[in-house]
A and B are shown apart, each in its own frame.
Chain A
Amino acid sequence: MTHTLLVIDDEPAILRVVGTGLRARGYRVVTAGTGEEGVTQAALASPTVIILDLGLPDIDGVEVCRRIRQWTDTPILVLSAHGTEIRKVAALDEGADDFITKPFGMAELEARIRVALRHRARDAGAGGEPGRIDLGPLVVDLAARAVTVDGRSVELTAREFDFLAYLARHAGKVVTHRILLEAVWGPGYGTETHYLRVYANHLRKKIEADPANPRFLRTSPGVGYQLVAPAETG
């Protein structure tokens, strides 16, 4: 099946290059040069993944994100530059799924697109067993509050489980520090990012084979955490 990707960027050169590279990799690519056009195309072209540059001439990228999120869950991958960290986090808070920093290699961009597609497919296929999130070897059973890795059961504290469960429910998405803190600890804890570091470390020791080189729980320094299903090899 051919996936349609929407690329929103005001730089013609980027649109040309990214479009060429992604088409050569077998995707259908639709491009938009302004935020307005991007929002329209997000509705008309029904893309499977949206790639959005934050610096647009007409509407701010964060606003584009917000408008698209009002009616669709299509994964949004944000293109950001150094020096736009605050807006990148704002875009993630508004519902963007992941980000990639310019300049980037096309292979890395495609890897991000694949992660987004994988989790989109998983979301779409969810419904077999409600309350169970299957991320390859990592299975989170929300109903029984139980976690298994490679079939082996893992003991988690209540907080650790909540932390993991929230990320699992939003697997594939970079969850910002603020959102994670408010979801797990409650409103008012939005700035206590050191809690997250501590719990992420504990979790990695329990669910990762090599905590220094995590398969599931990724850190985006200064931004947040992301739980991904490892790509099936072979």
Chain B
Amino acid sequence: VRGRGAVPFPLMAAIRRLTPPRPRLAAGLALTVGGAAVAVALLIPFRSRIDVDTAALVLVIPVVLGSAVGGLPVAPVGVVTGFVAYDFFFIPPYYTFRVGAGEHWVGLGVYAVVALVMAAFVAQVQRARAEAEGREAEARILVELASATLDDDGLDDALRRLIHLACELIPLRGGAVVLADEQARLHSPACEGIPALDFTLQHLAGHRPRGLLEEVAGTPGLQGTPLPITYGPGGILLTAGSVATLQRRRLVSFLATQAAVCVERSRLQAEASRRRSLEEVDHLRNAVIGAVSHDLRTPLASIKASVSDLADPAVDLSDDDRRVLVATIEEETDRLTRFVTDLLDMSRIESGALEVRRSATSIEELVDATVARLRASLAGHRFSVDVADLPLVDVDEMLIGHVLANLLENATRHTPAGSAIHLGAAPLGHWVEVRVSDNGPGIPAGEGERVFEPFFRLRTGNRAPGTGMGLAICRGVVEAHGGRIWVEAAPGGGASFAFRLPILVNRAPITEPEPWVRRS
């Protein structure tokens, strides 16, 4: 993991080479002049015995060495020095600048040309080597900057890492990325070493990036580079520190590109995930529309077929047939009514328009009334009730009665005839907990929450009768009362639906409304 500020050691070495070693002019000059002096000193004792041209060859050495160290500017100095020394010490007559024989002019000329060419060549090689090292260092920095943005941990972190690395590697005194949003407000997710940037940005509010660029252009030591962003609002890279060399300008422009890539990638990712969730919503909406139209159309189909038969004088219907058709019409009309009512309840709950008429309610009475109402559908099961002595709750009697009925009907629908259904209610701290348990197939693990989603049924392909909205409505109602509803596995198999309602506390059940202002 590349932590902030941890610049690997080999990289530091590369950075040192990034600014090519400035040719050490003084050392070069000293070497070439000193070298010439030493050469002269060494050669003088033998000058009667050696060839004049040999001295010229030896005197090329200090020029080349000096140029290698001090660069090209050393070469002419070295050549002149060597030329003078050669003429003065080695071309007879000695210790004069006169040149005796014509051939010595040729020697001097050859010396000057050879020394100059050699020196220039060596200096050039040196410079090329330094440049190559510089390029290598640059490449390593580019790689480093590019990989700084690869970790997938959010735009701001990536930009901060990028700026931090850039400050250290290029190096910069400071750097910052400034981004505009849709309303052209500027903010800086990543800033290092640029004081009072946020303050400046506040001042430039509403100015768009161009305003900042102009501002920056008037600030010495600070440069602004527009980010090449093509998707969404633009941004600017601010850098503090010298950008005198071509290489540094290249690095800064690369930094800007990299920041832009970061910003765009993050924007496109956000866009993609927004699209995905829209698609999911769309898919769910289609499924819901499909389910609703199926549930509305099915009873309508039966009603229409029945009515068309009853209305057709050509069809010879027996009295029994007529009874069957009329009964079907009634049942299916009830079914439609139930479905439409549930749909309306559901939409009221979802839009927050559910009206809760609270009153002090006894759960025991509510249980008795509901069980009495459902006697017929509960008759097929072994049904038991265990309701303790309960405090009053402050609820809408009708709505909670509906929840209770719904849970009981659910239990009868989803369990085989003859199996046990138990209804219990008990006080529990500040709550009254009501529980409907059955011995049916239960709810598959992990689906405990999803059964409360509207139209959950449609995702399981379960064609049990019912509207698929019952539990969602129960949840809506219970939560509107500040309570909670959930399902767990019943001991011994089956499902156990429970809900809690807050106990009525510190409120006298019946009181005269208090006047706003009490007069004494």
User: A106: which B residues are within 8 A, CB to CB?
Assistant: 305, 308-309, 312, 315
Tell me the complex Cα distance, A205–B231, Å.
58
Given the contacts A16-B328, A21-B309, A103 and B301 also touching, CB distance less than 8 Å: yes
Given the contacts A17-B325, A20-B321, A11 and B304 also touching, CB distance less than 8 Å: no
- Within the complex, the shortest CB–CB distance from A32 to chain B, in Å, comes to 15
Looking at A20, A83, A109, the one whose CB has the most chain B CB atoms below 10 A away is A20
Closest B residue to A79 by CB, please name it.
B301
- Within the complex, the shortest CB–CB distance from B300 to chain A, in Å, comes to 5
Instruction: Verify B297–A103 contact, CB threshold 8 A.
Output: yes
Tell me the complex Cα distance, A182–B160, Å.
62
- Which listed residue, A17, A102, A107, touches B306 by the CB 8 Å rule? A17
Query: Which residues on A are within 8 Å of B, measured CB to CB?
Result: 10-11, 13-14, 16-18, 20-21, 23-25, 55, 57, 81-83, 102-107, 109
Interface residues of B in 442-474 (CB under 8 A from A): 461, 463
User: A102: which B residues are within 8 A, CB to CB?
Assistant: 297-298, 300-301
Interface residues of B in 314-354 (CB under 8 A from A): 315-318, 321, 324-325, 328, 331-332
Instruction: Verify B463–A104 contact, CB threshold 8 A.
Output: no
Closest A residue to B464 by CB, please name it.
A57
**9 closest residue pairs by CB, A with B:** A105-B308, A103-B304, A13-B302, A103-B301, A102-B301, A21-B309, A57-B463, A17-B305, A106-B308
- Within the complex, the shortest CB–CB distance from A52 to chain B, in Å, comes to 14
Instruction: Verify B297–A82 contact, CB threshold 8 A.
Output: yes
Tell me the complex Cα distance, A20–B318, Å.
10
User: A13: which B residues are within 8 A, CB to CB?
Assistant: 298-299, 302, 328, 331-332
Instruction: Verify A104–B304 contact, CB threshold 8 A.
Output: yes
Does B290 touch A at the CB level, under 8 Å? yes
Does B170 touch A at the CB level, under 8 Å? no
Residue contacts A-B, CB under 8 angstroms, 29 given = A11-B301, A11-B302, A13-B298, A13-B328, A13-B332, A14-B301, A16-B324, A16-B328, A17-B306, A17-B324, A17-B325, A20-B309, A21-B305, A21-B325, A24-B309, A24-B318, A25-B315, A57-B463, A82-B293, A83-B290, A83-B293, A103-B300, A103-B303, A104-B305, A105-B304, A105-B305, A105-B308, A106-B309, A106-B315
User: A17: which B residues are within 8 A, CB to CB?
Assistant: 302, 305-306, 309, 324-325, 328
| Contacts beyond the supplied A17-B306, A107-B312: 12 A-B pairs with Cβ under 8 Å | A11-B298, A11-B301, A13-B328, A16-B328, A17-B324, A21-B325, A25-B315, A57-B461, A102-B301, A103-B301, A105-B304, A106-B305
- Which listed residue, A16, A24, A81, A107, touches B317 by the CB 8 Å rule? A24
User: A16: which B residues are within 8 A, CB to CB?
Assistant: 302, 324, 328
User: B129: which A residues are within 8 A, CB to CB?
Assistant: none
Closest A residue to B465 by CB, please name it.
A12
